[in-house]
Amino acid sequence: MAIGVKVVERPTEQTSYVRAALTGMAHTLKHMLNPEKVTTQYPEQKESISKRWRGTHRMLTTEDGKAKCVGCGLCPTVCPANCIKLVPGEDEQGNRYPLVFEIDEFRCIFCGYCQEVCPEEAIHMGRHYENSEYSREGFVYDLERLMAQTHPVSELWDPMDPKGE
Amino acid sequence: MMPVVALLQLTGPTTEPGFGFWLAATVVKLVAIFTVYMLGAALLTLAERKISAWMQDRHGPNRVGKGWLQPIADGVKNFVKEETYPDAANLPIFILAPVISFIPALVTWAVIPFAAPWGSRWGIVEMVLAPLPIGFLFILAISSLGVYGIVLAGWSSNNKYALLGSVRSTAQMVSYEIAMGMATIPVLLLAGNVSLSKIVNQQAFETWNVINLTVAFFIFLVAAFAETNRLPFDLPEAESELITGYHTEYSAMKFSLFFIAEYCNMITASALMATLFFGGWDIPFTLWDNLAPHTGIKTLLTLGAFATKTMFFLFLFMWIRWTLPRFRYDQLMSLGWKFMLPLALGYIVAIASLIVTLQFLGFAQGSWPFHLGLAMLNVVAVIVLFMILDRGRIISPASSRLDQRDIARLRAVSARPRTPLLPETGD
- Higher per-residue pLDDT: A104 or B339: A104
Is the per-residue pLDDT at A80 higher than 90? yes
Q: Which of B57, B323, B414 sits opposite A38 (nearest CB)?
A: B57
Q: Do A3 and B399 touch (CB under 8 A)?
A: no
In three-state secondary structure terms, A87 is strand
Say if B349 falls within a structural domain.
no
Q: Nearest to residue B190, comparing CAs of B180, B177, B204?
A: B204
Give the residue from A104, A150, A129, A122 showing the smallest Cα distance to A54.
Answer: A129
As a whole number of angstroms, the distance between CA B36 and CA B70 comes to: 17
> What is the predicted ipTM?
0.71
Q: Do A31 and B55 touch (CB under 8 A)?
A: yes
| Cα–Cα distances in angstroms (integers) from residue B278 to residues A116, B76, B118, B344, in the given order | 74, 37, 21, 19
pLDDT of residue B3: 46
Q: Is residue B124 part of a domain?
A: yes
Which residues does chain B have within 8 Å of residue A43's beta carbon, measured at their own beta carbons?
Answer: none
pLDDT digits (tens, 9 = 90+) for A112-138: 899 999 888 889 998 888 888 899 888
CATH class name, domain A57-148: alpha beta
Please indicate whether residue B263 or residue A3 has the higher confidence score (pLDDT). Answer: B263
Residue B66 contacts residue B50 (beta carbons within 8 Å): no
Residue pair B196/B277 in contact by the 8 Å Cβ criterion? no
Nearest to B390 among A16, A24, A41 (CB): A16
3-state class (DSSP) for residue A81: coil
| Banded pLDDT at A7 (limits 50, 70, 90) | low
CB A15 to CB B392 under 8 A?
yes
Residue length, chain B? 427
Residues paired with residue A67 on neighbouring β-strands, in sequence order = A61
- Show which of residues 28-67 on chain A sit within 8 Å of chain B, judged by CB atoms: 28-29, 31-34, 36-39, 41
Interface A-B: count of C-beta contacts within 8 A = 78
Q: What are B357-404's pLDDT values in tens digits? A: 888 887 777 777 777 777 888 888 888 877 777 665 555 555 566 667
Question: What whole-number distance in Å separates Cα of residue B206 and Cα of residue B277?
Answer: 12
Asked if A22 is an interface residue toward chain B (Cβ–Cβ < 8 A), one would say no
- A-interface mutation test, from B49, B50, B51, B55, most A Cβ less than 10 A away: B55
Q: Is residue B254 part of a domain?
A: yes
DSSP labels, B235-300: TTT-HHHHTTGGGTT--HHHHHHHHHHHHHHHHHHHHHHHHHHS-TTPPTT-STTTSSP--HHHHH
State which residue of chain A sits closest to B418, comparing Cα positions: A1
- Within-domain flag for B380: no
Q: Are B12 and B119 in contact (CB under 8 A)?
A: yes
Each residue's pLDDT tens digit, B291-333? 767 777 778 888 888 899 999 999 999 999 888 888 878 778 8
Query: Which residue segment(s) compose the domain that B206 sits in?
Result: 17-330
**A-chain residues within 8 Å CB-CB of B58?**
37-39
Residues of chain B with pLDDT under 70: 1-17, 121, 289-290, 292, 390-403, 418-427
Beta-carbon separation of A7 and B322 below 8 A: no
- Name the nearest CA neighbour of A73 among A88, A55, A52, A62: A88
- Per the structure, the count of domains in chain B is 1
**Domain residue extents for chain A:** 57-148
Q: Is residue B388 part of a domain?
A: no
Nearest residue of B to residue A44, measured between CA atoms: B63
Per the DSSP assignment, residues forming a β-bridge with B120 are B123
Of B425, B351, B415, which is closest to residue B381 (Cα–Cα)?
A: B351
Return the residue of B nearest to A15 by Cα: B392
Contact B59 A21 (CB under 8 A): no
Backbone angles phi, psi at B364, to 5 degrees: -75, 155
Within a domain: B387? no
Cβ–Cβ gap A19/B390 under 8 Å: yes
Contacts of A1 in chain B (CB under 8 A): 414, 418
pLDDT of residue B392: 55
Q: In angstroms, rounded to a whole number, what is the distance separating the alpha carbons of residues A123 and A79?
A: 12
